[in-house]
């Protein structure tokens, strides 16, 4: 009889193991094999102490393992009855190609499950003290990547300036183009913006400023190649990250100040 394997597509959260779900921890402990992305924290991997770890991360400057090869590895291990964790940064279904892997597993008849993770789209702003939908300031946010230029361009054209908070992933290197596009679309030059690098990692670094200064902001060398999330919109000027001590004065939109 064929042994019962299971492939778990697991979200590892933004970095530090504190942001793993309990189910993710359980699946890591049970795993025989972990196929992980480049951005996954060593402390997260260490939880899978009895597993074989394979780095299938795609990053610049090294030979890339193709998406098809990753899917073949998942199918092969699952069909041999192994407990496999496919570990991805953030949430597996947010810009993570988890959908393609789930589809390939379904087509191959391999049992699989999705274990949601805390997406950096949510975690990076939260850890910087930016409430994405602060009442009276912003009542919606969109998550976009400039890596898909056609979609991000169409979206920015369609959005009235200042209407929503924009959260941009995989856009750190394109920050100048993103800022130019928003300014050309009529977003005020003084619209607050934030660049959040390496959230929940030792390289965490936050920049805040005006939209027209985003292109020129330069992180320190130790954070320069950390993954980055960009927030544009009035909420980006808020900083509710302090737990102790005096909070800095916060300029809220007039509608909030009246409440
Ligand atoms: C390929 S996408 C994967 C997103 C992931 N599935 C998620 O839900 O967070 C990678 C992008 O996520 C963002 N990112 C990942 N980890 C981050 C972190 N610790 N701090 C800030 N942004 C991060 C960056 O924009 C990075 O380019």
Catalytic residue (choose from 32, 55, 76, 170): 170
* Ligand 1 centroid – CA 212 distance (Å): 24
Q: Measured between alpha carbons, how far is 109 from 232 in angstroms, rounded to an integer?
A: 43
Give catalytic status of residue 37 as yes or no.
yes
Give the residue, out of 58, 169, 172, with the most ligand 1 atoms within 8 A of its beta carbon, to mutate for a pocket test: 169
Catalytic residue (choose from 23, 32, 55, 58): 58
At 184 the pLDDT is 97
Give the residue, out of 90, 143, 196, with the most ligand 1 atoms within 8 A of its beta carbon, to mutate for a pocket test: 90
Q: Tell the residue nearest (CA) to atom 10 of ligand 1.
A: 170
At 208 the pLDDT is 97
pLDDT, tens digit, 9 for 90 and up, residues 44-84 = 999 999 999 999 987 665 668 999 999 999 999 999 999 99
pLDDT, tens digit, 9 for 90 and up, residues 104-120 = 999 999 999 999 999 99
At 40 the pLDDT is 86
At 223 the pLDDT is 93
pTM for the structure as a whole: 0.91
Q: Measured between alpha carbons, how far is 245 from 1 in angstroms, rounded to an integer?
A: 62
pLDDT below 50 — which residues of the chain?
253-259
């Amino acid at each position: 009889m064929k042994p019962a394997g299971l492939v778990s597509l697991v979200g590892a959260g933004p970095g530090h193991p504190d942001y793993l779900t309990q189910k993710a921890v359980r699946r890591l402990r049970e795993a025989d094999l972990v196929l992980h992305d480049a951005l996954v924290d060593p402390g997260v991997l260490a939880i899978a102490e009895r597993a074989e770890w394979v780095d299938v991360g795609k990053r610049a400057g090294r030979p890339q393992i193709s998406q098809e090869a990753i899917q073949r590895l998942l199918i092969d291990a699952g069909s041999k009855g192994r407990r496999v964790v496919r570990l991805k940064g953030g949430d597996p279904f947010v810009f993570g190609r988890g959908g393609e892997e789930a589809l390939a597993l379904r087509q191959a008849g391999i049992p699989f499950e999705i274990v949601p993770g805390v997406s950096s789209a949510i975690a990076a702003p939260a850890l910087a003290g930016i409430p994405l939908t602060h009442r009276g300031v912003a009542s919606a946010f969109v998550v976009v990547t400039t890596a898909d230029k056609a979609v991000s361009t169409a979206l920015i054209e369609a959005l009235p300036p200042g209407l929503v908070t924009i959260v941009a992933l995989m856009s750190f290197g394109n920050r100048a183009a993103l800022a130019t596009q928003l300014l050309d679309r009529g977003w005020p030059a003084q619209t607050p913006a934030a660049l959040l690098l390496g959230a929940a990692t030792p390289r965490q670094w936050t920049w805040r400023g005006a939209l027209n200064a985003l292109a020129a902001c330069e992180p320190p060398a130790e954070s320069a190649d950390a993954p980055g999330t960009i927030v544009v919109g009035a909420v980006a000027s808020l900083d509710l990250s302090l737990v102790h001590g005096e909070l800095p004065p916060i300029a809220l939109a007039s509608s909030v100040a009246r409440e």
